[in-house]
């Protein structure tokens, strides 16, 4: 395609001018006419193209004055008319009808394809063997019964907690969730995979085992190792690291631990002094609950400032569990216990 010289009208602009001119004086454009052909067509009709003014101008002075067509006017004349509300509705209905028709055709095609696939899948009947001699007929073969898949078992031994859990037909996801439930504060659970040693052994009827141990090092790393019960063969160890707490969470936990230490000292002193400073009729549990609510009120603003919901729940759980532990530890020594 020949590129229009700089400052002259392009083929698209010439077409637009002619279309606008056609509305006024009608010049028909033959299909496939190029830029040079368009110029010849204009000049053959007694007009000329003014590239600077971007217009078609009448070159014959002896005939009645024809209208002048500019590019701006051409754009306005050739602009599509806006559709009425009725036309828009009809267009939407036609589109929906076309889509529905296409869906029906697709359903018919799929149905035919399924029927043809079924016909191809049907095995052809084998011709019966005919034998002349007596007792030489083919005996029907016995159908082989499919082997029943035996259930596999995996034992997870949480050594630090002295707990065990048996999982039937285990998958990697089931093992990860079981360990995550016991130790939610670690990362890297996706690294836990049942190794071939355990899988093959379980398929032969042996019980697989995963040993989980929280190490006593500074980071309290979680060690995970696999083997088969009754064998000395162990798989590769996997070490999971504890999730790092944010600085604000660490500060809150440290403050809570100090508050717990103060409360325990206070409880010990009250028991050793055999003093009852609580209101009349208040039990030891009620006294502890009062202290818990007081501490919650004290720390709640700081806890709510923690963005991570899981971290907030963790702090509140730590607070509640600590109070339960203190209550269980000292309730037998307190004279404020209610008599059953």
Burial of residue 213 (CB within 10 Å: 0-12, 13-18, 19+) is: middle
How far apart (Å, rounded) are the C-alpha atoms in residues 62 and 43? Answer: 16
CA distance 209 to 159: 12
CA distances from 12 to 25, 28, 73, 79 (A): 19, 15, 15, 14
Q: Which residues of the chain have a pLDDT value below 70?
A: 1, 24-25, 61-67, 122-149, 196-197, 244-246, 270-271, 273-285, 332-340
Residue 133: predicted pLDDT:
54
Determine which helix (DSSP H) or strand (DSSP E) holds 157, and give its type and residue range.
Answer: strand 153-158
Return d(Cα 178, Cα 166) in angstroms, integer: 10
Please state, in angstroms and as integers, the Cα–Cα distance from residue 100 to each residue in 103, 104, 134, 141, following that order.
5, 6, 66, 52
* Cβ neighbours of residue 168 closer than 8 Å, sequence gap 6 or more: 151, 152, 153
Domain ranges of the chain: 11-78, 153-242, 247-333
Tell me the torsion sign for CA atoms 61, 62, 65, 68: negative
DSSP H helical segments within the chain, as ranges? 11-24, 35-44, 71-78, 85-121, 172-182, 196-203, 247-273, 284-304, 309-330
pLDDT in tens, 80-119: 778 888 888 888 889 999 999 999 999 899 888 888 888 7
* pLDDT number for residue 98: 92
Give CB contacts under 8 A, 24+ apart, made by 159-167. 159/211, 159/212, 159/213, 160/212, 160/213, 160/214
Do 156 and 172 touch, CB atoms closer than 8 A? no
| CA distance linking residue 219 with residue 241, whole number of Å | 7
DSSP for 188-214 reads -GGG----HHHHHHHHTTPPEEEEEEE
Tokens representing 158 are 């949480």
pLDDT at residue 230, rounded to an integer? 72
DSSP states along 70-85: EHHHHHHHHSPPPPPH
User: Which residues are bridge partners to 186 per DSSP?
Assistant: 242
Q: pLDDT per residue over 327-338, tens digit each? A: 777 776 655 444
Q: How far is CA 162 from CA 39, 158, 215, 218, in A?
A: 95, 6, 14, 21
């Amino acid at each position: 395609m020949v590129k229009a010289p700089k400052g002259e009208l392009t083929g698209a602009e010439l077409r637009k001018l002619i279309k606008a001119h056609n509305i006024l004086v009608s010049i028909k454009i033959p299909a496939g006419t190029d830029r040079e052909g368009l110029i010849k067509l204009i000049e053959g009709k007694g007009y000329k193209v003014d590239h600077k003014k971007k217009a078609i101008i009448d070159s014959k002075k002896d005939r009645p004055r024809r209208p002048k067509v500019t590019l701006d006017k051409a754009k306005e004349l050739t602009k599509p008319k806006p559709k009425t509300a009725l036309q828009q509705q009809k267009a939407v209905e036609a589109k929906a009808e076309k889509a529905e028709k296409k869906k029906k055709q697709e359903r018919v095609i799929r149905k035919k394809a399924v029927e043809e696939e079924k016909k191809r899948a049907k095995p052809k009947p084998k011709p019966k063997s005919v034998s002349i001699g007596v007792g030489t007929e083919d005996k029907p073969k016995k159908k082989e019964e499919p082997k029943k898949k035996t259930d596999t078992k995996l034992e997870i031994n949480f050594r630090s907690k002295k707990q065990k859990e048996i999982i039937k037909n285990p998958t990697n996801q089931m093992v990860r969730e079981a360990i995550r439930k016991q130790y939610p504060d670690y990362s890297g659970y996706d690294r836990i995979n049942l190794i071939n040693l355990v899988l093959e052994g379980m398929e032969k009827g042996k019980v697989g085992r995963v040993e989980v141990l929280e190490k006593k090092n500074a980071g309290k790393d979680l060690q995970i190792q696999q083997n088969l019960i009754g064998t000395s063969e162990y798989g590769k160890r996997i070490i999971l690291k504890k999730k790092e707490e944010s600085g604000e969470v660490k500060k809150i936990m440290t403050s809570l631990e100090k508050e717990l230490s103060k409360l325990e000292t206070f409880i010990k002193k009250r028991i050793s002094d055999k003093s009852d400073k609580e209101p009349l009729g208040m039990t030891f549990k009620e006294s502890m609950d009062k202290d818990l609510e007081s501490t919650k009120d004290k720390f709640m603003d700081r806890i709510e400032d923690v963005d991570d919901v899981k971290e907030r729940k963790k702090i509140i759980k730590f607070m509640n569990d600590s109070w339960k532990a203190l209550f269980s530890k000292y309730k037998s020594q307190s004279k404020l216990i209610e008599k059953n």
